Amino acid sequence: MFFHVLFYPMIWLFDRTAAWVTKILGYNAHPDEDIYSQAEIVSLSRDAAQAGEIDEDDLRYMQRAFEMNDKVAADIMIDRTQLAVIDVNATIHEALNMYLETKYSRIPVVANNDKDKILGYVYSYDLVRQGRIDMEAPVSTVLRNLPNISEDQPITDILQEMIDHRVPMVVVKDEYGGTSGIVTDKDIYEELFGTVRDEVDDTIDNLITKLRSDDDGNMHYQVSGKLNLNDFERYFHEDIGSFEDSDKVTLTGYMLDRFPDLSVNEPNQVANFDITALDFKDAYINYFEVVVLPLTDEIALMFALKKNSHLLQMTNKERRDFY
């Protein structure tokens, strides 16, 4: 300890001098081996988590943070077909009724009932306060500003936009100036922390209803198109590879992306599930019927082939030798 204290000033001086001389000569004072890529950081952190050196939750948040940096508005927005809007000429009374029906604390305000002409939004607190003064006043009296962003704007930039303008949501515009959807601060938080449900959100039990068991003993469910893919896997206790590979968030988004020619009342198989659209209106599906199929040898083999796509190129003899 005595020698450490005695020689520390000299060691510090030599270290700083060496770094300064190295920089003057045009070399990097910090070697490349000390610089890690995003993939290397995640890999090292995963190993540390398996060894118990860091918490699994810390690893999960780190991975989500990296993934969030690669996403844009179009990846997380609420599509225009799902927007509940109110016309600028509507009264406070009408807006309050919509608030009670939809349970949305913030409602976009449009001109001429046109979703491409979003003027701003109204906040439930403002509606209640103004309602005590004049229930027949137009919603324009409590209209708040709503910034516009592009579909390809990074999520981190969107969050900064919200902070700068002190707003909880933004309008997403397409390349023609039309409305693609909206992004709320909650959508961004959920990218990092997972599904966050508040008092008025639908629970999984409200989004999935048991219907019946068929003659083969397979259970049928009615499932809302709004159901998060992670919640689907959690409810049915299954890990579905195609869900993990998809950049969609909800069951409707996934099904429309996976099956572009999807039709009502025609089943589509996903893993060991038959999923049938029960309705299809305005490019959106509200409900599906989901049948849980038994995990047969054929389905198990199909999963194995999908996970090991190179097996598809093997001959029958090569497959037998492989297994």
Burial class (CB in 10 A: 0-12, 13-18, 19+), 107: buried
- Per-residue pLDDT at 9: 63
Task: Name residue, tokens 């590979």.
Answer: 245
- The boundaries of every CATH 3.30.465.10 domain in the chain are 204-292
Confidence of residue 299 (pLDDT cuts 50, 70, 90): low
- Per-residue pLDDT at 27: 61
The answer, yes or no, to whether residue 181 has pLDDT greater than 90, is yes
Confidence of residue 301 (pLDDT cuts 50, 70, 90): low
Give the Cα separation of 76 and 188 in Å (integer).
Answer: 8
Q: Pick from 69, 73, 249: which is nearest to 174 by CA? A: 73
Tokens representing 320 are 């037998």
Task: Name residue, tokens 């040898």.
Answer: 297
The residue among 166 and 308 whose pLDDT is bigger is 166
The answer, yes or no, to whether residue 136 has pLDDT greater than 60, is yes
The answer, yes or no, to whether residue 309 has pLDDT greater than 60, is no
The residue among 4 and 20 whose pLDDT is bigger is 20
274-284 pLDDT, tens digit each: 999 999 987 88
114-132 pLDDT, tens digit each: 999 999 999 999 999 999 9
Confidence of residue 312 (pLDDT cuts 50, 70, 90): very low
The residue among 277 and 62 whose pLDDT is bigger is 277
**Pairing between strand 148-150 and 169-173?**
parallel
- Per-residue pLDDT at 1: 54
The residue among 8 and 287 whose pLDDT is bigger is 287
The mean pLDDT value for 34-49 works out to: 78
- The boundaries of every CATH 3.10.580.10 domain in the chain are 73-193
- Per-residue pLDDT at 234: 81
- Per-residue pLDDT at 278: 95
- Per-residue pLDDT at 184: 93
- Per-residue pLDDT at 307: 47
- Per-residue pLDDT at 31: 54
Say which CATH topology domain 73-193 has: CBS-domain (3.10.580)
User: What is the dotted CATH code of the domain comprising 204-292?
Assistant: 3.30.465.10
Confidence of residue 319 (pLDDT cuts 50, 70, 90): very low
Buried b (16+ CB within 10 A) or exposed e, 145-182: ebeebeeebbbeebbebbeeeebbbbbbbeeeeebbbb
The mean pLDDT value for 201-211 works out to: 74
> Residues of the chain with pLDDT > 90: what percent?
43
139-148 pLDDT, tens digit each: 999 999 999 9
- Per-residue pLDDT at 310: 44
The mean pLDDT value for 75-86 works out to: 88
The answer, yes or no, to whether residue 52 has pLDDT greater than 50, is yes
Give the Cα separation of 155 and 158 in Å (integer).
Answer: 5
- The pLDDT mean for the chain works out to 82
Q: Which residues pair with 72 in a beta bridge?
A: 154
